[in-house]
Structure 1
C-alpha cells in the first residue's frame, strides 16, 4: 500500500517523469536515496508501469483519427482472440479497448488524411475476422487527454 511519501513522489513524478532523483526528492521533501528507493519499489510492484515519450501525431503528418466501435459475431468462441490478434498487427491502430455490452471492441486508428484512412479501412480493418457491425466516429478534438491521477 502507498503511504503519504509515496503519494507525494508520485504526485510530482506523474507531472514530469523527466525529473532527476534529486529534483524529484526535493519536490517531494525526501532525500534522493529515499526517492530512488521508493521509485524502484513502485516500479517493481507495477505501480509505475512505464516512462514514455508522448508524440504529437499531427507533427508527424497524421491529421485523421477515427474511433471504430466494433461488434463481433460471437457465434465463434475464438472470435475475440482471433480479432484482437489480427487487429494488433495493424500499425495504424494505436489503441484497442474491449467492452461488455453492445460494443465489443473499440479501435483507435490514425491516418495522414481521409484517402489514407479509407485505404487502411478497406485493406486492413474490413479484413479483420468476426466483424458483425462497425460504427465509425471521427475525432474532432481532444479536450482532455490526461493520465494524471488525483493523489
Structure 2
C-alpha cells in the first residue's frame, strides 16, 4: 500500500494521541472526518496500523531493575532456539526477547523489583534455560531516549 502525505499527516496525529476520535484526528490532520476514517481503516487493513495498546510504566508497579541479557546458545541441537525462546516466554519478568545474527543469539530484557529479586530470577529461571553457552548481563543505568514514534 502506498502512503501519501495526507496519510502521514494523519499517522503523525494518531501516533501523538491514538485515543483521539476520528473527528479530532481529522481536524488536526486538516481533512474531513469521513476521509480520515476511510484512511485509518485502509491503513489498519493493510497492517500499517496494527492496534491500540496501553503502555504501563513497570517502574510505577514496583520494578526498579532492568537487565539486558545477551545469550549465546549451544546450537548443536537444531531445536535450541525454539526451546530457549519457548521457555523464556514463560518467565513473566522477561518483557522482551530479540534474536540476532552474529556472536549473540538472543537478548532478553528482564525486569525485577530489586537486586535480590533479580538474583533469584537469575538463579532459578534464567540459568535453568537449556542450551546456553554464554550469558552477558548488562545492567541498565538510565534510559536516555525511548520513543516509539516513527519519523513521519
Matched residue, 1:52? 53
Matched residue, 1:149? 150
Structure 1 segments, 4+ long, off by >2 Å, are none
User: What residue ranges of structure 1 are gaps of 5+ in the alignment?
Assistant: none
Matched residue, 2:93? 92
Matched residue, 2:133? 132
Post-superposition shift, 1:118?
Answer: 0.8
Distance 1:40 1:120 in 2: 43
CA deviations on 1:72-118 (whole Å, 9 max, x unpaired) are 00111111111111111110000000000100000000000001011
Distance 1:27 1:74 in 2: 52
Using structure 2 for the length normalisation, give the TM-score. 0.97
Matched residue, 1:64? 65
Post-superposition shift, 1:125?
Answer: 0.7
Post-superposition shift, 1:32?
Answer: 1.0
Post-superposition shift, 1:52?
Answer: 1.0
Q: Is the partner of 2:16 in helix, strand or coil?
A: coil
Using structure 1 for the length normalisation, give the TM-score. 0.97
Distance 1:87 1:45 in 2: 31
Matched residue, 2:118? 117
Query: Are positions 1:16 and 2:17 aligned together?
Result: yes
Distance 2:65 2:145 in 1: 17
Distance 2:134 2:16 in 1: 39
Q: How many residues align?
A: 151
